[in-house]
Amino acid sequence: MNGTQMEHESQRPALTILSEEEELFRASFREFAEGEVLPRVNDMEEAGKLDPELIKQCFELGLMAIETPEEYGGAGSTFFNAILAIEELARVDASTSVFVDVQNTLVTNAIIKWGNEEQRKKYLPQMATSKVGAYALSEAGSGSDAFALKTRAVEKDDHYEITGQKLWITNGNEAEIFILFATIDPEAGYKGITAFIVEKEFEGFSVGEKENKLGIRASSTTELILDNCKVPKENVLGEVGKGYKVSIETLNEGRIGIAAQMVGIAQGAYENALKYTAEREQFGKSIDSFQAVQFQLAEMAVDLEAARLLTYNAARLKDAGKPFLKEAAIAKLYTSRVAEKISSKAIELYGGYGYVKDYPVEKFWRDSKIGAIYEGTSNMQLQTIAKLITTGK
């Protein structure tokens, strides 16, 4: 099989049935990614921030409110279509992908599911048109042990005063609306945790330093500082003391989003490897004509196909209202491994060129590493899978 045929094969979706609407969604996402995101990738990587014009276009295209019901200004589409968007964006740039991912799978998803009607009417239209969201759970002492958080919410007359610090907050610089978790009773353990909708302009709220990261460098990852931040009581999301349910269920869905991001990264690295090995000549012929290279490309294709199918399956189960916790954990675990493996192999196939920033594959590898860390480390996914297969709950 020659390089041209391989490139054609790489464009085929995984062997799962996509509806006509889903095919159109995928095509529109890919057109946007290649036409608007790709030309900006290098500049955003160097600047360490997303292009404000690109952010504006994400809203105009409807990428920031894919599942949001039409009555609140959103597209009223499916979780699966959100997954397609995240995948297609990550194929070009993981930073843009996670920017859209957090907005859809974590923030708007939480408000749609847990918000009351007043909260939905107030916040969802804003997030559909102009305002970015962020999800603030992690702290210095609470990573995998998420419920060890120390941020404290003290009840006052008509509001809560929240004090503490949050770390590793994706979209921290761009966001104006935050789903933030604090405890109302440290002695109550997880039963004291409460979710709040916090606006950037609330008194006592500020954004700290942006982290200088290995990968997804254009995505802002920041600290949040809360100094007696005043949050109205009507901004409690869900029930007081039930924030643990909001966080667990939202993150379970968010892990499918991360899996889609990893699939997109793997796809991008794979396609670049296919193209380069078809063009690179050694010993008088393209290197993709050597069996050793062909076998490596074949292994990459197998891993990528399996990763995509696991991710799509988890998303389909979620949309169908069926249990998906185990499938989401498996998808996130496996896709993070595949993205790192395929992008690393792509660097090797490029040889010395793969190791320099003039070529795209080293960025795919750097961007892939976070998949084993955020929204639940690989060890936490293994723990979830082990528990479900041994106890069934």
CATH number assigned to the domain covering 134-242: 2.40.110.10
pLDDT beyond 70 at 11: no
* 245-391 and 134-242 share a CATH fold: no
The band of 144, judged by pLDDT with boundaries at 50, 70 and 90, is confident
Rounded to two decimals, the pTM is: 0.94
16, pLDDT greater than 70:
no
88 half-sphere exposure, CB direction, 13 A CA radius: 26
* pLDDT value for 14: 46
Q: How far is CA 305 from CA 15, 16, 393, in A?
A: 8, 10, 29
Q: In this predicted model, what pLDDT tens digit does every residue of 161-207 receive, in sequence order?
A: 999 999 999 999 999 999 999 999 999 999 999 999 999 999 999 99
Best CA proximity match to 32, nearest among 59, 72, 5, 4: 59
User: Domain extents for the chain?
Assistant: 3-132, 134-242, 245-391
Which amino acid would we find at residue 305? E
Q: What fold characterizes domain 3-132? A: Butyryl-Coa Dehydrogenase, subunit A; domain 1 (1.10.540)
What is the per-residue pLDDT across 368-388, written as a single tens digit (0 to 9) for each? 999 999 999 999 999 999 999
Least confident of 3-12, 156-165, 223-232: 3-12
Whether 84 has a pLDDT exceeding 60, the answer reads yes
Q: How would you class 17 by CB atoms within 10 Å of its CB: exposed for 0-12, middle for 13-18, buried for 19 or more?
A: exposed
Confidence of residue 244 (pLDDT cuts 50, 70, 90): very high
Task: Measure the CA–CA gap between 103 and 89, rounded to whole angstroms.
Answer: 14
Fold observed for domain 245-391: Butyryl-CoA Dehydrogenase, subunit A; domain 3 (1.20.140)
Give the lowest-confidence range in 36-40, 120-124, 142-146: 142-146
Residues 115-137: pLDDT tens digits? Answer: 999 999 999 999 999 999 999 99
The mean per-residue pLDDT over the stretch 106-117 comes to: 98
Average pLDDT, the chain: 95
Is the per-residue pLDDT at 149 higher than 70? yes
Mean pLDDT within 312-341? 97
Which positions are annotated as active-site residues?
375
